[in-house]
Amino acid sequence: MQKRILIKNHQQEIQLVTRRTMLVVVFIAVLSFCLICRLAYLQIFKHDVYSTLSTKNWLDLVPIEPTRGLIYDRNGVLLAENIPVFSLDVIPVQVQDLPKTLTALKKIVTLNDNDLSQFWKQLKQHRHFDEIPLKMRLTDEEVARFAENQYRFPGVVITARLMRHYPYGASFAHVLGYVGRINAQELDEIDQVNYSASHYIGKLGIEKSYEEELHGKVGYEEVENDASGKPVRVLKQIKGTPGKNIYLTIDSGLQFTAEKALAGHHGAVVAIQPGTGQVLAMVSQPSYDPNMFVLGISQKDYQTLQQSSDQPLFDRALRGLYPFASTIKPYFALEGLDSGVITPEDTIYDPGWFELPNYSHRFHDQNGRGHGTVNVSKAIMVSCDTFFYTLAMKMGIHRMDDILNQFGFGNVTGIDLDDELPGVVASPEWKQNVKGAHWYNGDTVNAGIGQGLMQATPIQLANGVATIASRGQRFIPYLLLGEQAPGKSYVTEQPIALDPIKLRDPHYWDVVISAMQNVVDSPQGTAYRMFGRNYTYTIAAKTGTGQVSKRRNPDEEDKQESMPENLRDHHLFIAFAPVDHPKLALAIITEHSNVAAEAARVIFDYYLGPPQNANRPAQTETKKTTK
């Protein structure tokens, strides 16, 4: 009988199954352990993160733009305000076809090329879930039309906003500046969290210099959304902090008067309070309407302003570089007296010209017949060029530069506005570095009467004559009178004094100031005829004529009206009044026009004269109390 062969090995099969079962159990245990660890990590260590993400599914934090601070003049006159407007805003992430939507919106609201151009620029600079203004300041009719059709435009909303507005338009444009839409460069420089709800920022002037104070701090709303992401209700509001209201040293009445005095002419007026450095008026003519820039000026309008021969965008008060002309003479007289180069009694004979030794060229006096025997007081009064040609050669350029530097020329004044130019106090070193040329004695002679390479800005000229008025006491000119945060007290800005200019003999101040007083009071004075009579205050002044074209003969001064307007001389006038207790220091420059002294008369009459003074708004602090 054949032996039976076993096909199954039960014992071996049991061992195999047991091993596999154990492997499965271990594998499941490992997976379970990993799962438990992961759950523990998510539930314990990442609880805050996922709890926040879960909340975001139905809650939104919506930033609230802070209310921009207002700007007032020293008497509480409102210069920059916020007006309520309705804007048409787009939330790009909620719009399926943006170009198609914009095309359809054109049939409901008026959208010009500038609106669309500004929108596409802003779209590149903001997140797609931000509300981006498409058109500011909708009309009531446009608001009604869109409300009827809003269901057709998901992601497009009407928002109530406050928009900056300048009620006096061009009158304060160069002082206030303006706000405009934030550009890409500014977006990289600002605190993006604080500006998350803001689309505008100060671009120029006070609006830029005090942007941080005016802007305030952003607020937030916690909004509950439905399943489609639409807001249902506001759960909580975190109020922002409105910007501070700021008060300027500007006297709006004086500003309007100065502007009117310059009407029809190009130039600048700067008025300073000598005892503090407060700027009471600062006018640059022609000017422009800053409201054009708030909504976003079109390229065409901007090019029109930029290419205009009147240069309305150019701030002449801070950036206009003009020859000192004869306004430089009081400073050189002070240096000549203080250094002992001359005395008050020293005289020269003026034949109407000056010659350098071994030099055939004659430097003519503005009076071709000459002034005869002249001392320093008469030289200032009649503006004798020959005297100052002589004095310049006696002093030398380094002494001349030194006194100008002491008065702050050649450097920015430090006024709280950007883009001020420093002017030019020329020296041999300056000429070599800038012009690549040597300094000659003729350069020194020309500098003695403020011609040639010497240049100053109107703010520097006003600051300089304010220093003479204060007999050497210097201040940094400034525009911020004070500020007031919401719910807090008004805080006054204090003047910043600089090191005074000290003369060896303080009597020299009286010599020069007395001579400047005779410029207006004496029949021989250069401003006697132009300034007029019957004023009720004492005044010290100096006239100046900045040559634009080269003189063909010494008598050409009297033929200005026959020349093309762009070749006529600039005229300068610096002054302060009253002489004993100065309240107002003034610098005026009129381009190609001889009305500087007449304009000064109008301004001083308004500020100091009894008839006009009666109509001035009284300075009040009532608007500066806690609000």
Helix, strand and coil percent figures for the chain, each rounded to 5: 40, 20, 40
Boundaries of every domain in the chain: 314-471+506-589
Q: What is the mean pLDDT of residues 351-366?
A: 88
Please enumerate in sequence order all residues whose Cβ is within 8 A of that of 13, keeping only pairs 6 or more positions apart, or say none: none
Distances (CA, A) of 221 to 51, 88, 117, 218, 242: 19, 20, 31, 11, 16
- CA–CA separation, 584 and 567 (whole Å): 32
Amino acid identity of residue 212, one-letter, is E
Q: How is residue 179 written in tokens?
A: 């706000």
Q: How is residue 286 written in tokens?
A: 């022609």
Angle at 426 between CA 424 and CA 428, to 5 degrees: 150
Q: Are strands 59-64 and 78-90 parallel, antiparallel or unpaired?
A: unpaired
Q: How is residue 417 written in tokens?
A: 């506005």
Q: Look at residues 625, 581, 624, 626 and name the one whose alpha carbon lies nearest to residue 248.
A: 624
Residue 102 clears pLDDT 90, i.e. is over it = no
Residues 160, 84 contacting (CB under 8 angstroms): yes
How many percent of the chain have pLDDT more than 70?
88
Please enumerate in sequence order all residues whose Cβ is within 8 A of that of 545, keeping only pairs 6 or more positions apart, or say none: 325, 326, 366, 557, 569, 570, 571, 572
- CA–CA separation, 442 and 439 (whole Å): 8
Q: What is the mean pLDDT of residues 503-526?
A: 96
- The residue among 552 and 137 whose pLDDT is bigger is 137
DSSP code string of 259-278:
HHHTTTSEEEEEEE-TTT-B
Beta-ladder partners of 236: 222
Question: pLDDT digits over 21-58, tens only?
Answer: 888 888 888 888 888 888 877 777 777 666 665 555 55
Q: Look at residues 540, 397, 484 and name the one whose alpha carbon lies nearest to residue 210.
A: 484
**Fold of the domain spanning 314-471+506-589:** Beta-lactamase (3.40.710)
Backbone angles phi, psi at 478, to 5 degrees: -150, 160
Q: Is 149 helix (H, G, I), strand (E, B) or coil?
A: helix
Q: Are strands 71-72 and 245-248 parallel, antiparallel or unpaired?
A: parallel
Angle at 505 between CA 500 and CA 508, to 5 degrees: 85
Q: What is the mean pLDDT of residues 313-323?
A: 96
Amino acid identity of residue 537, one-letter, is Y
In the prediction, which pLDDT does 58 show? 59
In the prediction, which pLDDT does 2 show? 58
Q: How is residue 608 written in tokens?
A: 């100091």
- Of the candidates 326, 427, 470, 593, the residue annotated as catalytic is 326
pLDDT band at 249 (very low <50, low <70, confident <90, very high): very high
pTM of the model: 0.83
Catalytic residue flag (residue 298): no
